[in-house]
């Protein structure tokens, strides 16, 4: 296994057998020379990066011999979790300032890999959930950590029912700060979507907490809904030029390009959150649905649906165009 010995993938990394991720991670304190991190340490990071990206890919799509679930089990058996815990509980103050940028990159890599370790895997989700409280300090500077948190809660009703108001407020703070910078990074907004519906059931308490945070900060701060005729034209314009289906499927921060594609993805994530807030029946929904309708009325949705359908029917379009409009519909 790559995680344990690194040898299985040696031909892809050069003629020599690379050290394992465990060797690389646990030896981080020795990367520096005379307390200053050198160019040689960058090469160690590159080896770790290649292995982590390979593991992430395998845990996402598998290969000819193993399914993603089997890869996740292998990662569990080879103690990936202990490596993850070690990295996210490192105190940067224990290292010289010259190492902090490199340590941040290592942490981002491991969190990104861990997000695939837990994806749609209840056992692994529960395992990582036990240490989340000790690693939440990473959220401010590590978007990969937020994506990991999203995957821990996603489609896991038992864990979603343990969400605390402080965590919802923390993500709302991060969304507000991100939007004030003029950014459309969707990773913090995706967390709110992940906790309002799980296993095809509404998580009523979480829906209420999210609605309160949207009211508190203002819908235009948290969401990007592109309303009215001008908003509809903007959606069509962005969709016509959209080229980032890979980022729509997997919003990995390392591959994030920003620009118009980011704006459209954030718009889609905003709509998905509203859908989650309106999901379900019962007393709470008597509050939720009118709130959602006040932000994005059904006639607006129908007009956009008809508009995109008409454009798709005018002329043959390349697969990318059709796919993004299908997602919008």
- The full DSSP string for 204-266 is HHHHHHHHHHHHHH-HHHH-----HHHHHHHHHHHHHT---HHHHH---GGG---HHHHHHHH
Question: Can you give the pLDDT at residue 41?
Answer: 66
As a whole number, mean pLDDT of residues 204-209 equals 97
What is the tens place of the pLDDT at every residue in 88-127? 998 988 888 888 888 999 999 999 999 999 999 999 999 9
pTM for this predicted structure: 0.84
Query: What is the Rg, in whole angstroms, of the alpha carbon atoms belonging to the chain?
Result: 22
Longest dimension (CA), the chain: 66
Which of 49, 68, 51, 71 shows the shortest CA–CA distance to 60?
A: 68
Structure tokens at 135: 């690693």
Pick the more confident residue, 188 or 79: 188
Q: Is 34 left (phi over 0), alpha (psi -120 to 50) or beta?
A: left
Percent helix, strand, coil in the chain (nearest 5)? 70, 0, 25
Residues 6+ apart with CB under 8 A from 300: 227, 232
How far is residue 38's CA from residue 295's CA, in Å, rounded to a whole number? 53
What is the tens place of the pLDDT at every residue in 34-77? 445 555 567 888 888 998 899 999 999 999 999 999 999 999 98
How far is residue 190's CA from residue 276's CA, in Å, rounded to a whole number? 11
Which of 186, 180, 181, 182 shows the shortest CA–CA distance to 217?
A: 180
What is the tens place of the pLDDT at every residue in 295-317? 998 777 777 777 666 655 444 44
């Amino acid at each position: 296994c790559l995680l344990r010995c690194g040898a299985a993938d040696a031909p892809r990394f050069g003629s020599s057998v690379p050290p394992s991720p465990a060797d690389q991670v646990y030896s981080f304190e020795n990367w520096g020379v005379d307390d200053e991190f050198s160019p040689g340490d960058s090469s160690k990071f590159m080896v770790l990066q290649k292995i982590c990206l390979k593991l992430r890919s395998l845990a996402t799509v598998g290969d000819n011999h193993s399914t993603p679930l089997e890869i996740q089990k292998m990662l569990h058996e080879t103690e990936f979790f202990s490596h993850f815990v070690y990295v996210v509980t490192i105190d940067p103050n224990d290292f010289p300032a010259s190492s902090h940028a490199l340590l941040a990159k290592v942490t981002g890599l491991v969190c990104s890999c861990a997000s695939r370790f837990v994806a749609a895997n209840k056992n692994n989700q529960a395992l990582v959930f036990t240490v989340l409280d000790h690693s939440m300090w990473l959220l401010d500077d590590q978007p990969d950590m937020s994506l990991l948190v999203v995957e821990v809660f996603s489609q896991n009703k038992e864990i979603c029912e343990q969400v605390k108001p402080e965590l919802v407020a923390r993500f709302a703070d991060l969304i507000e700060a991100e939007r004030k910078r003029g950014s459309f990074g969707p990773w913090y907004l995706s967390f709110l979507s992940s906790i309002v519906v799980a296993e095809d059931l509404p998580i009523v308490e979480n829906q209420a907490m999210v609605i309160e945070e949207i009211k508190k900060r203002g819908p235009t701060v948290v969401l990007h809904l592109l309303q009215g005729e001008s908003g509809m034209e903007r959606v069509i314009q962005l969709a016509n030029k959209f080229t980032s289906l890979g980022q729509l499927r997997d919003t990995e921060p390392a591959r994030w390009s920003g620009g118009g594609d980011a704006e459209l993805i954030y718009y889609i994530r905003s709509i998905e959150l509203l859908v989650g807030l309106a999901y379900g029946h019962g007393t709470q929904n008597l509050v939720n649905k009118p709130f959602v309708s006040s932000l994005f009325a059904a006639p607006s949705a129908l007009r956009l649906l008809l508009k995109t359908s008409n454009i798709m029917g005018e002329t043959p379009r390349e697969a990318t165009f059709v796919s993004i409009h299908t997602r919008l519909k």
